[in-house]
Structure 1
Amino acid sequence: MKMAVYGAGSLGTILGALLTKNGYDIDLIDVNEAHVKALNEKGAKVIGGMDLVQPVKALTPDQMTEHYDLMFYLTKSTYDGSALPYITKWLKPNGILVTGQNGMPEQNLNDVIGKERVVGQITGWGATYVEPGVSKLTSPADLMIFEIGEQDGQITERLKMISDILSHAGTAHMVTNLIGMRWAKWTSNCCFSGMSAIVAGPFGDVLDNPHAIKCSAYIMNESMAIAKAAGVTVEIFQGADFANLAFTTEKELNAAIPKLIESEPHRNIRTGMLYDIEAGRYPEIDTTYNGMQCKMGYKYGVPTPVNAQVMTLVHAMAAGKLKIDPSNVDLIVLPKLPTE
Structure 2
Amino acid sequence: MRMAIMGTGSLGTIIAALTTRGGYPIDCIDANVEHVKALNAGGARVVGLMDLVQPVRALTPGEMVGEYDLILYLAKTTDNESALPVIVKHLKRDGAVVCMQNGIPEDAVADVVGRFRTIGCIVGWGATYLEPGVSRLTSAPEKMEYVMGELDGQDTSRLHEIAKVLSAAGAAKTTTNLIGIRWNKLMSNTGFSGMSAVVAGTYGDVLDQPKALACAQHIFREALAICRAAGVVIEPRGGFDNRDFDFHTEKERVEKIPLYLKKMEPHRNIRTGMLYDIEAGRKPEYEAFNGTITRWGKKWKVPTPVNDQVVDIVRGMWEGRLKIDPKNLGLMELPPLPSE
Contact 1:249 1:338 in 2 (8 A): yes
CA positional deviation for 1:179: 0.6
Partner of residue 283, structure 1? 284
> CA deviation digits over 1:91-111, x for unaligned, max 9?
011101011111101111111
Q: Could you tell me which amino acid in structure 2 is paired with residue 145 of structure 1? A: E
CA positional deviation for 1:147: 0.7
CA positional deviation for 1:143: 1.0
1:94 partnered with 2:94: yes
Taking the aligned partners of 1:7 and 1:56, their CA distance within structure 2 comes to 14
Higher alpha-carbon deviation: 316-325 or 269-278: 316-325
CA positional deviation for 1:241: 2.1
Taking the aligned partners of 2:245 and 2:11, their CA distance within structure 1 comes to 30
> CA deviation digits over 1:269-310, x for unaligned, max 9?
000001011112110001x10111101100000000000001
Q: Could you tell me which amino acid in structure 2 is paired with residue 148 of structure 1? A: M
Partner of residue 227, structure 2? 227
Taking the aligned partners of 1:112 and 1:154, their CA distance within structure 2 comes to 21
Higher alpha-carbon deviation: 192-201 or 15-24: 15-24
Partner of residue 336, structure 2? 336
CA positional deviation for 1:261: 1.9
1:53 partnered with 2:57: no
Taking the aligned partners of 1:111 and 1:75, their CA distance within structure 2 comes to 16
CA positional deviation for 1:239: 2.8
Taking the aligned partners of 1:325 and 1:114, their CA distance within structure 2 comes to 42
Higher alpha-carbon deviation: 252-261 or 130-139: 252-261
| TM-score normalised by structure 2 residue count | 0.98
Partner of residue 27, structure 1? 27
CA positional deviation for 1:25: 2.7
CA positional deviation for 1:251: 1.6
Taking the aligned partners of 1:278 and 1:28, their CA distance within structure 2 comes to 24
Taking the aligned partners of 1:336 and 1:24, their CA distance within structure 2 comes to 52
Contact 1:240 1:260 in 2 (8 A): no
Contact 1:120 1:150 in 2 (8 A): yes
Taking the aligned partners of 1:104 and 1:219, their CA distance within structure 2 comes to 16
Q: Which runs of 5+ in 2 are unaligned?
A: none
Q: Could you tell me which amino acid in structure 1 is paired with residue 47 of structure 2? A: I
- Give secondary structure in 2 for the equivalent of 1:116: coil
Query: Where do residues 194-209 of structure 1 align in structure 2 (5 Å cutoff)?
Result: 194-209=194-209
Contact 1:190 1:290 in 2 (8 A): yes
Query: Where do residues 121-140 of structure 1 align in structure 2 (5 Å cutoff)?
Result: 121-140=121-140
Identity of aligned residues (%): 56
- Give secondary structure in 2 for the equivalent of 1:115: coil
Q: Could you tell me which amino acid in structure 1 is paired with residue 74 of structure 2? A: L
> CA deviation digits over 1:162-204, x for unaligned, max 9?
1111111111111121110110000100000000001111100
Contact 2:25 2:56 in 1 (8 A): no
- Give secondary structure in 2 for the equivalent of 1:181: helix
1:160 partnered with 2:148: no
Taking the aligned partners of 1:24 and 1:235, their CA distance within structure 2 comes to 29
Taking the aligned partners of 1:323 and 1:194, their CA distance within structure 2 comes to 15
Taking the aligned partners of 2:240 and 2:279, their CA distance within structure 1 comes to 30
Taking the aligned partners of 1:208 and 1:239, their CA distance within structure 2 comes to 23
Contact 1:49 1:136 in 2 (8 A): yes
Taking the aligned partners of 2:220 and 2:134, their CA distance within structure 1 comes to 33
| TM-score normalised by structure 1 residue count | 0.98
